[in-house]
Structure 1
Amino acid sequence: MIKHVGVLGAGQMGNGIAHVCAQFGYNVVLFDIAAPQLDKALATIRQNLDHQTLKGATAEMVEETMGRIRPTQDMADLADCDICVEAVTEYQPLKFEIFKKLDAAVKEGAIIASNTSSIPITKIAAVTKRPDKVIGLHFMNPVPVMNLVEVIRGHATSDDTFATTAALVAKLEMEMAVSQDYPGFSVNRVLIPMINEAIFALDEGIAAVEDIDKGMELGTNRLMGPLTLADFIGLDTVLAISNVLYVGFKDPKYRPSPLLEQMVNAGYLGRKSGIGFYSY
């Protein structure tokens, strides 16, 4: 039974996961190596909770939720967590390093989950001494708003680990989509090639940024167009996932657009950098 949740990484995804878990009654330890990032995360969580009061949440709920979140820069503080969710940058060597450290830091029997959006869970689990306790728990962005969690079982993930994780998702009042452990899983296997193709279309002069987005928004009833979504996700993350698909399947249809690579190299990462396909 899960009572204490650890979250590694206090960025956009990490603070959202911490927010939702605390809101639904879990005690959360939020870890990051940078104190300013932790401060920013707590401010963001409070801001998002305050916004929820406009939709009926009480001030008491806001304070109770904030009171359940404990920020830390010491990974040893995660030792007693029943599940730890890693939400660091989508970079495979970093994921491996984090999981090795987590495996040594948390108690025996604890589940270690990754919020990775593309890196195979089996590979991540293989660097630990508890591969049966490793699972993919891919939240969608922004976490407090999106109602889906993609759950991915690695080759060695146990039935008990899966059942415990599924119970957590249900407690958070989210829907669960189960995917096999292949590069990109199911959501990004479909989504990222669509975004990449939109970038190819832009680069080839088929249509302007606004027209590509308008066409997909109104023509396919989407909340935002693929280029707006790419900016929201972060072009560096889109490129990282594209490369995982390209290398993982060895199929040229997943080749990242040269324009995407060029923009990332230039530091045009979307909302996080202030400029991508749009200016912010």
Structure 2
Amino acid sequence: MSGVDPTAPERVGVLGGGRMGAGIAHAFLLAGSRVVVVERDEASAIAAGERVRESLRRSIERGSTDRVFDELAAALQTGTDAALFADRDLVVEAVPEERALKADSLRRVEAAVPTTAAIASNTSSISIDDLAASLEHPERFLGLHFFNPVPASVLVEIVVGASTNQELVADARNWVAALGKTAIVVADVPGFASSRLGVALALEAIRMLEEGVATAADIDAAMELGYRHPTGPLRTTDIIGLDVRLGIAEELHAALGERFAPPQLLRDLVADGHLGRKTGRGFYEWSE
């Protein structure tokens, strides 16, 4: 790829149009791809389309792109039928972080896409090899772990499974560069690199809060001011979602042992529906 400008796939599919899926669609649209987002029902598909369009409007208002809104919106399609992926070059699965749901979703994608298409999962912690076991052609499958919020994030974690074709890894590096982001390539190990490190820090911060070591704001300030983290681990957990953090912690606990055991405080907040910014309350109170 030396001396060649990176290019995004011409036709991209995204399965799941929530916050992450909409952000992934946004990123590929800005890079020049034509994107179709498939959701579970018509109401969700309509909501996903509006989510992406609103995100595009904000990027234009901030001056983050010189693209024209009507042109970007025209390159977006939403629907409920996986058959819409029949002409895609790449499909990214972005459904909730549940192993069975992801495996079933990936089977649906593989049944719909052409034999030349690449398939990726946006999983943040589930084994790529475990998910690949549900596919007939695991060589064209890898992890593309985007970070929330996708439009503002600069990192994509490329997770390589045992069967992943190395040419696909090179293609993925190219696609990430075309999005204006930086790729890191990691092996398929529990938590990959980013989730494993991020969760370890977050869980210890939650334990410190649980033990009364300091307030949430002071614990975060210790990392923001002392270690130059842009956002402290508790506020970051609120942004990511406490339910997401808990799910990853449970995966890592099962794979790596007690050091990743979720604190009771995290379990209690999730059980009470306090999931962070998206519900208005987590370790902090969030207003509109």
Q: Using structure 1 for the length normalisation, give the TM-score.
A: 0.95
- Which of 147, 154, 172 is matched with 1:147 structurally? 154
Q: Secondary structure at the match of 2:174?
A: helix
In 2, Cα distance between the equivalents of 1:278 and 1:89?
Answer: 23
- Cα pair 2:37 2:48 within 8 Å, conserved: no
Give the unaligned 5+ runs of structure 2.
1-7
Match of 1:209 in 2: 216
- Which of 147, 159, 172 is matched with 2:179 structurally? 172
Summarize the Cα distance change of 1:175–1:60 in structure 2 as closer, same or farther, 3 Å threshold.
Answer: closer
Higher mean displacement: 182-191 or 58-67: 58-67
- Cα pair 2:118 2:168 within 8 Å, conserved: yes
- Cα pair 1:19 1:65 within 8 Å, conserved: no
In 2, Cα distance between the equivalents of 1:166 and 1:92?
Answer: 26
- Cα pair 2:91 2:119 within 8 Å, conserved: yes
One-letter identity of the residue aligned with 1:252: E
Match of 1:276 in 2: 282
Q: Does 1:79 align with 2:81?
A: no
Match of 1:127 in 2: 134
Give the deviation of 1:60 after TM superposition. Answer: 5.3
- Which of 115, 124, 132 is matched with 2:122 structurally? 115
Match of 1:244 in 2: 251
- Cα pair 2:23 2:150 within 8 Å, conserved: yes
Deviations 1:115-172 (A, max 9, x none): 0001110111111001001100001111111111100110100112212222211211
- Which of 95, 105, 120 is matched with 2:112 structurally? 105
- Which of 268, 273, 277 is matched with 1:267 structurally? 273
Give the deviation of 1:67 after TM superposition. Answer: 1.1
Q: Does 1:48 align with 2:64?
A: no
Match of 1:70 in 2: 77
Match of 1:11 in 2: 18
CA-based RMSD of the aligned residues comes to: 1.6
Match of 1:253 in 2: 259
Deviations 1:84-131 (A, max 9, x none): 000110111111111111121211121110000011101111110010
Summarize the Cα distance change of 1:226–1:58 in structure 2 as closer, same or farther, 3 Å threshold.
Answer: closer
One-letter identity of the residue aligned with 2:262: P
Give the deviation of 1:58 after TM superposition. Answer: 6.7
Q: Secondary structure at the match of 1:135?
A: strand
Structure 1 runs of 4+ off > 6 angstroms? none
- Cα pair 2:30 2:65 within 8 Å, conserved: no
Give the deviation of 1:79 after TM superposition. Answer: 1.4
Aligned residues: 279
Q: Secondary structure at the match of 2:12?
A: strand
Give the deviation of 1:48 after TM superposition. Answer: 2.6
Q: Secondary structure at the match of 1:194?
A: helix
Superposed, 1:181-220 pairs within 5 Å as 181-220=188-227
Summarize the Cα distance change of 1:57–1:260 in structure 2 as closer, same or farther, 3 Å threshold.
Answer: closer
Match of 1:22 in 2: 29
Between the aligned residues of both structures, percent identity stands at: 39
Give the deviation of 1:57 after TM superposition. Answer: 5.5
In 1, Cα distance between the equivalents of 2:41 and 2:234?
Answer: 31
Deviations 1:185-241 (A, max 9, x none): 001110011001110001111111121122222121122111111111010100000
Match of 1:161 in 2: 168
Match of 2:229 in 1: 222
Give the deviation of 1:42 after TM superposition. Answer: 2.7
